[in-house]
Amino acid sequence: MDRRLTVQGALDRATETFAAAGIVEPRREAVRLLADLLDWTPADVALGRGQVIEPDRRRWIDRAVARRAAGEPLPYVTGLAGFRQLVLRSDRRALIPRPETEGLVDRALARVPRGVAVDVGTGTGCLALSLRQEGAYDLVVGIDRSADALALADANRRRTGISVALVRADLLSACGAEAVDLVVSNPPYLTRAEYLALDPGVRDYEPAGALESGDDGLEASRRLVTEALAVVRPGGWLLMEIAAERPEASAALAAGAGWTGIHIDDDLFGRPRFLVARKEA
Ligand SMILES: C[S@@+](CC[C@H](N)C(=O)[O-])C[C@H]1O[C@@H](n2cnc3c(N)ncnc32)[C@H](O)[C@@H]1O
C-alpha cells in the first residue's frame, strides 16, 4: 500500500475500479462517492485534490469503492440521496428516490400548495418532506406499510427537522372520509415480469415491495385510486407516479373509480409518468 494517498489519488483509483467494473460514468460516480464520504461538495473535491487522506478514512473509502464496484447502488454505499432541496439518508430499507419523482412535487405545488396532503408509500419520506418544506400545508402525512421504510423516513424527518406525520398503514385505510386536499403517491407499479427483468443493481438491492405490484403492475394503483377518491374532499387532487409503459391503463383505472379531468404528464425524460386527476367539486 502506498504511504500517502491524496484525494486526487483516491479519485483516480476509484475511477479505474469503477471503469473496470463496467460502471457507465466512473469519474462522476467517483467524485460523488468521495464528496459524500468526506462530507464535501463535488467542488470541494476538485479544489482539495492535493489533500492527504488519513489511513482510517482510506480503508473506509476502499470498502465503499469495493461495494459500489460489486454493484451496490451509490446512495446505499454512501448512505445519502439527493431529492430536490434535500439530502436524505438512504439505505436498503427503502427505494432510492429517483430524479423523475421530483416532478410530482412541482405538480402538487402548482395545484394545491396548502391544506392537508397525504403521501402514500412514503419510503425515505422524500415526497412528504419536500411538500412540507416547499409548500404551505397545514399538515403533511407520510404513510407506508413497511416498518423499515417508516423508520428511515423518521430518521430523515429528524435529520431535516421538517415536521411531517408518519403513519404505518395499508394505503389510505387510516384516513377519514373527505379529510384531505391532496393525495400524492409513487406506488409500486412494475409487473412481475418487469421486476424479474430489472437490472441486478436495482433488483438485488432495493426492496421488492417498493417496486412490484402484482402480475399487471397495477395492484396498488387500482386500490389507491378508489381509496383516494373517498378520502379527498370535493375539488381535491390525486397525483400519482405511473409506469411509463401503460399510461392508458392507469388513466382508465382513475376514470373507472370516478376521478375527473384526468390527464397524464411527462417526466423530465419526456416519458408519460404522472397521472393528474381531480375530484368533482
Ligand atoms: C416506489 S416506492 C416509493 C417511495 C418514495 N415515495 C419515493 O418516491 O421514493 C413505494 C412505497 O410504497 C410502499 N407500499 C407498497 N404497498 C403499500 C401499501 N399497500 N400501503 C402502504 N405503503 C405501501 C412501499 O413500502 C414503498 O415504500
- Maximum pairwise Cα distance, the chain: 70
Query: Residue 256: which residues within 8 A CB-CB, separation 6 or more?
Result: 225
> Of all atoms in ligand 1, which is nearest to the CA of residue 121?
12
From 105, 122, 150, give the residue whose CB has the most ligand 1 atoms within 8 Å, as the site to mutate: 122
Q: How far is CA 71 from CA 12, 18, 118, 275, in A?
A: 19, 10, 34, 32
Give tens-digit pLDDT for 99-109. Answer: 999 999 999 99
pLDDT over 60 (residue 127): yes
Atom 10 of ligand 1, nearest CA residue: 210
Atom 13 of ligand 1, nearest CA residue: 121
Question: Amino acid letter at 271?
Answer: R
As given in the structure block, the three cell numbers for residue 91 are: 439505505
Coil/strand/helix, residue 275:
strand
Rounded to whole angstroms, the Cα distance separating 41 from 35 reads 5
| Cα(148) to centroid(ligand 1), Å | 11
Burial tier of 61 (Cβ tally within 10 Å: 0-12, 13-18, 19+): buried
Give tens-digit pLDDT for 190-213. Answer: 999 999 999 999 999 999 999 999
Q: What is the mean pLDDT of the chain?
A: 96
Give the mean pLDDT of 238-252.
97
Give the distance, in angstroms, between the CA of residue 12 and the centroid of all CA atoms in the same chain: 30
Q: What is the pLDDT of residue 20?
A: 98
From 86, 95, 198, 231, give the residue whose CB has the most ligand 1 atoms within 8 Å, as the site to mutate: 95
Query: Residue 105: which residues within 8 A CB-CB, separation 6 or more?
Result: 84, 127, 130, 131, 134, 184
Please give the model's pTM, rounded to 2 decimal places.
0.96
